[in-house]
Structure 1
Amino acid sequence: MANFGPKDVKKLREMTDAGMMDCKQALSATDGDMEAAVEWLRKKGLGAAAKKADKVAAEGAITMKIEDHKGIMVEINSQTDFVAKNEKFQSFANQVVEHAFANNLASAEEILESEIEGEGFKEYLALQIATIGENLVVRRVATIETDENGTVNGYVHAGGRVGVLVAAQCDKPETCPAVKEALKNIAMHAAAMNPTYLNEEAVPAEVIEKEKEIAREQLLKEGKPENILEKILPGKIKRFLQDNTLENQKFVMDDKISVSEYLAKVAKEAGGSAKLIDYVRFELGEGVEKVEEDFAAEVAKQMGK
C-alpha cells in the first residue's frame, strides 16, 4: 500500500516543478518519503540535464546589478530565444547576477565553483537545466568597481541582447550623482555604436600598426605617391580612433560633441569634473558558433531513421 496520496504528488510537483508521473514514480520509489523523493527527482534531473549539455547555447540574456560604486554584468546562454523569454529562465538569470554581486564572483569559473542556497552551483545549474528543459551556460562576467570618488552605471538593451557597464572618476563625491545619470546615456550610446575601446590609450600598438598598414595599402591603390603617405596616415589613424574609441565617438544624442565632451559638460554643470575610466560591452552570443541542423534530418534522427 502506497504511503502517499494525490496531495503529496501535488506538493512534490510544486516543490520540484517535475512532471506529475515523475513525482508519482519518485514517491513510489521512496515509499512516500518527501525528502528522499526530491533527491530521487534531482538525480533523475541531473541525468536529463546531462543529455542537454551538448546542445549549443547561443541565445539567452545579459543581466546586471549596479549599486553605488560597483556594477556587475553576467551573460547566461540558452539554446533558444523562446526559453530566454521564459519567466523561469529570467528568474534564474537574476538570481545568478545577485549571487555573483553579493559574493564578489568575477568570472564564470568562480560562479561555477561557488555554492548557492547551500549546494554546489554546478548541481544547482544542472537542476535548472532539467527544469527549464534546455542547456544553460553561465558564459562570462564583467565587474567594474570604483572608489568613493567614482561612480558606475549601465544599460541593458533589447531584452538582454546587449549590455554595457561604464565608470567614471569624479573630482569629488558631490559631482558623482550628475555624472551617474550621464553614464546611463553613455552606456546607451555604447550599446548602439559599439566602440571597441575606451580611449586611445586602450588601443594596442599592434592594432594601430595594422591600421596604418591597411591605410597605406588603400592609399597606394588609389594612386597616392609614396612620398606623401606619411602626411596622410595620421589623419586616417585619427579617424580610426574617433570611430572605435568610446571617448572620441560623436555622442549620439548630440553629434556636435564627443562622448568625453558630453561627460565633461555634465560634470562642469554640477560644479566639478569627471573622466571615463572603464567600459565593458557584451553582445549576446558573440563568438559562439551556432550549429544549424536540417529540421527534417533532426526529426528523422529522433525517430531513429
Structure 2
Amino acid sequence: MADITAALVKDLRDKSGVGMMDCKRALQETHGDMDAAIDWLRTKGLAKAAKKSDRAAAEGLVAGLVSADGKTAVLIELNAETDFVSKNETFQAAARDIAQVAMDVEGVEAISAAKTARGEVVSDMVTNLIATIGENMRLRRSVRLNVDQGAVALYLHNVQGEGVARLGVLVALEGAGDQAKLQEVGRKIAMHVAATAPLSLSTDDLDPQAVDKERAIFTEQALASGKPPGVVEKMVEGRIRKFFEEVVLLKQAFVMNPDQTIEQLVAEAAKETGQPLAVKAFVRFGLGEGVEKKTDDFAAEVAQLTGQG
C-alpha cells in the first residue's frame, strides 16, 4: 500500500474541499491514487461540499452555552445558505456540539481542528453536513468570556431550539455577589444589549475614529447655525455627550427602565449584594451581520423566462 502522507492528504483536501479525515480514508481505500480518491469521495457524496463553497452563507444559527459554575460562556455562529436549515435537528445538534467544543478551545481554526464529544473533527462534521443537507456551511466566528469571580450571563433571542437562536448576547459581570443575583442582572443587561446593539462598553472603549467622525459632523452642523465659536464648542460637546448616551452601554438608558442608565443599574445591584460589581465585557452575535447576502429577484426571473419581462 502507498504511504499516505500528510502532504498527500492535504493535496486531496485542497482539490476536493472535503475534510482531512475523509480525504485520508479515501486515499487509504484507493491505495494513494489521487484521481481514484476523488472519484471515491464523489461516490460517497462528499465532494459535493467543495462545489458549494463559493455560495453565500448568511443564515444558520447562533449557539450559546454557559458553564455549570456560571463563570464561563461561549457563543458560536454556524452559517448556512437558507433559514430552513436552522430548523434542521441535525444542524441544530451540530451547532450545540461546536459550542461545547468552544468551551475548551478558542478561535475558529482551533475549534475546526478539534473533536466533538462524539469524537468527530468539527471541520469534518461540517463537511459531512454540507454533503448531507446540500447547502454551503461554515463556522464563521466564536467567542468565550469568563470571570474569576462573578458570572457570565447568556441571552438568546428568536430561539430556534435548545441553545440555538438567531441572536445571542453574553455579558460578563465581575464581583463577589450571589451567583443567582448576578446571573439575573447579567441577563437583563444582555437583553438590553440585544435590543440596543451598543458600540462599546465604556466611552474609553469607543473607536476614536467613530468619535472624531461624529464630532466633525456636529461641528459642521453647529457652524452652519452661525453661532459664535464659544457657543459652537458647547453645542458640539453637548451632542457628543448625547452620542455617548446612545451608543455606549454603560451610558445608555436601560430599556426596562428608561429613567435608569445601565451604569446605575449595576451600581444598584452592587448595593443590593453588598459587593463591588462591574461589567467586564459584552458580546453580541446577530446572525449573518456583515455578510454580503445575494438576493434573487424571482419575479423578474420568471417574467424573463416566460417572455413577460
Distance apart, 1:50 and its partner CA: 1.7
Q: Does 1:69 align with 2:71?
A: yes
Distance in 1 (CA, whole Å) between partners of 2:142 and 2:272 is 34
The answer to whether structure 1 residue 287 and structure 2 residue 285 are counterparts is no
Q: CA deviation at 1:91?
A: 1.2
The answer as to 2:209 corresponding to 1:206 is yes
Question: CA offset at residue 273 of structure 1?
Answer: 2.6
1:245–1:187 distance in 2 versus 1, CA, 3 Å: same
Please state whether the residue corresponding to 2:152 is helix, strand or coil.
strand
How has the CA–CA distance of structure 1 residues 161 and 225 changed in structure 2, closer, same or farther, with 3 Å as cutoff? Answer: farther
Do structure 1's residue 220 and structure 2's residue 223 form an aligned pair? yes
Match of 2:94 in 1: 92
Cα displacement (A) at 1:186: 0.6
Which residue in 1 is equivalent to 2:248? Answer: 245
Q: 1:43 to 1:92 in 2, by over 3 A?
A: farther
Tell whether 2:115 aligns with 1:110.
no
Flag structure 2 segments of 5+ consecutive residues without an equivalent.
1-39, 160-164
What is the distance in 1 between the residues matched to 2:185 and 2:42? 47
The residue type paired with residue 88 of structure 1 is T
User: Aligned-pair distance for 1:294?
Assistant: 4.1
Q: Mapping of 1:1-305 within 5 angstroms? A: 44-67=44-67, 68-101=70-103, 104-116=104-116, 117-147=118-148, 149-159=149-159, 160-170=165-175, 172=176, 174-295=177-298
**Contact map agreement 2:108 2:139 (CA 8 A) in 1:** yes
Question: For 1:47 and 1:269, how far apart are their aligned partners in 2?
Answer: 59
When the two structures are aligned, how many residues end up with a matched partner?
Answer: 258
Structure 1 residue runs without a partner (length 5+)? 1-39
Contact 2:101 2:115 in 1 (8 A): no
* Per-residue deviation, 1:119: 4.4
CA distance in 1, matches of 2:211, 2:94: 42
Q: Flag the 1:42–1:279 CA change in 2: closer, same or farther, 3 A.
A: farther
The one-letter code matched in structure 1 to 2:152 is V
Residue 26 of structure 1 is matched in structure 2 by none
- Alpha-carbon distance in 2 for matches of 1:214, 1:108: 38
**Which has the larger displacement, 279-288 or 265-274?**
265-274
Contact residue 251 and residue 257 of structure 1 kept, 8 A: yes
Deviation for aligned residue 1:166: 0.6
2:94 aligned partner, one-letter code: F
TM-score relative to the length of structure 1: 0.78
Q: Quote how far apart the aligned CAs of 1:130 are.
A: 1.1
Instruction: Kindly state the Cα deviation for residue 204 of structure 1 after the two structures are TM-superposed.
Output: 2.7
How far residue 120 of structure 1 moved from its aligned partner, in angstroms, is: 3.5
1-structure distance, mates of 2:197, 2:172:
16
User: What is the TM-score normalised by the length of structure 2?
Assistant: 0.77
